[in-house]
Structure 1
Amino acid sequence: MIDNVTVRRLGPNEASACVEALAEVLIDCVEGGASVSFMLPISREKALAFWRTVANGVALGERTLLIAEDGNGEIVGTVQLITAQPENQPHRADVAKMLVHRKARRRGIAQHLMREVDRIAREEKKSVLVLDTVTGGDAERLYQRAGWQRVGDVPNYALMPDGAFCGTTFYCKQL
């Protein structure tokens, strides 16, 4: 627990039950400028549909969903470990949608989520993790401090929520 925040893994039923709260975190992050696959304005329906798909992936065993809850039980952060990979990559997983609500940032929540991702990945016999993030964004420092190795950049890979182009930096971590 960090600063009265608990990180835990959600099972299939819990993942479905948390869709509303997870949508709030996603909407806040996108409205705050995070390039996480969604454009402004992001509708509540679109955010809910995304999290329902994630919950289905949890139920199918294709991904792990972690949440960070504050002392009031409110979800303030989340990250996913996508374990469904091609047959020739059973040792690999992708880390996706590292999100922390703006009101809960700068408290070590993202670091705690990333440590738990590493622990679960090891538990699931994954030895290579991969992720991508906005080039030059705040998350790069987080990943580098957590032992991730920068692989390379792709200019103009994605769009920011406001429609501006952004580069993407790819990282990997050997466990």
Structure 2
Amino acid sequence: MSTGFAIRRVAAGEVDALVEPLAEVLLDCVEGGASVSFMWPLPRERALSFWRGVAAGVRSGERLLLVGEAEPGRIDGTVQLVLAQPDNQPHRADLAKMLVHRRARRRGLARSLLDAAEQAARDEGKTVLVLDTVTGGDAERLYQRSGWQRVGVIPNYALMPDGRPCPTTYFHKPL
């Protein structure tokens, strides 16, 4: 399925230049109600600080960052792989912060990002991926349809951006 989005891996040398547009995607997702570690209202500087930290992880090789763009230079979605793991887990990576701007939803971008992240993990020699997501949300359904195996649910694990508690579902996928 062609989604009209180009998915690409962000190089260490370009990551700092993408902090602003990545912050825009994060701000949009949190304003739209996504439980992705932040509360609303999310100060712009807090979003920028988060992405500066991710950029440092990309530069150090601890993280891999993918972006999806409908047109060059406009980031519509992103996902990360946390590559740095404990010594006894070199085969594993965490899928983190799958974010799709509301303007780009329901067009296959999340699935394309997920497929690209799984391939990038294989390319990095990873054989197991893990993630957590809000129970009952669109992302949970995407992961199930994409062959991820549900591990379990933790009630009241996190808060929605408006302060309501929500359960989280953990998944894993052997590659």
TM over 0.5: yes
2:5 is matched with which residue?
5
Tell me how far 1:80 sits from its aligned partner. Answer: 0.1
Contact 1:6 1:68 in 2 (8 A): yes
Unaligned 5+ runs, structure 1: none
2:132 is matched with which residue?
132
Tell me how far 1:157 sits from its aligned partner. Answer: 0.3
**Counterpart mapping for 1:1-175 below 5 A:** 2-175=2-175
Tell me how far 1:71 sits from its aligned partner. Answer: 2.2
| TM-score, normalising length: structure 1 | 0.98
How far apart in 1 are the matches of 2:142 and 2:14? 28
- The percentage of counterpart residues that share the same residue type is 66
How far apart in 1 are the matches of 2:124 and 2:24? 29
Tell me how far 1:73 sits from its aligned partner. Answer: 2.9
Runs of 4+ that moved beyond 4 A: none
Contact 1:10 1:66 in 2 (8 A): yes
Q: Deviations over 1:81-116 (max 9, x none)?
A: 000000000000000000000010000000000010
The one-letter code matched in structure 1 to 2:81 is L
Q: Taking structure 1 as reference, are residues 44 and 2 closer, same or farther at Cα in structure 2, changes over 3 Å only? A: farther
Contact 1:35 1:134 in 2 (8 A): yes
Contact 1:22 1:51 in 2 (8 A): yes
Unaligned 5+ runs, structure 2: none
| TM-score, normalising length: structure 2 | 0.98
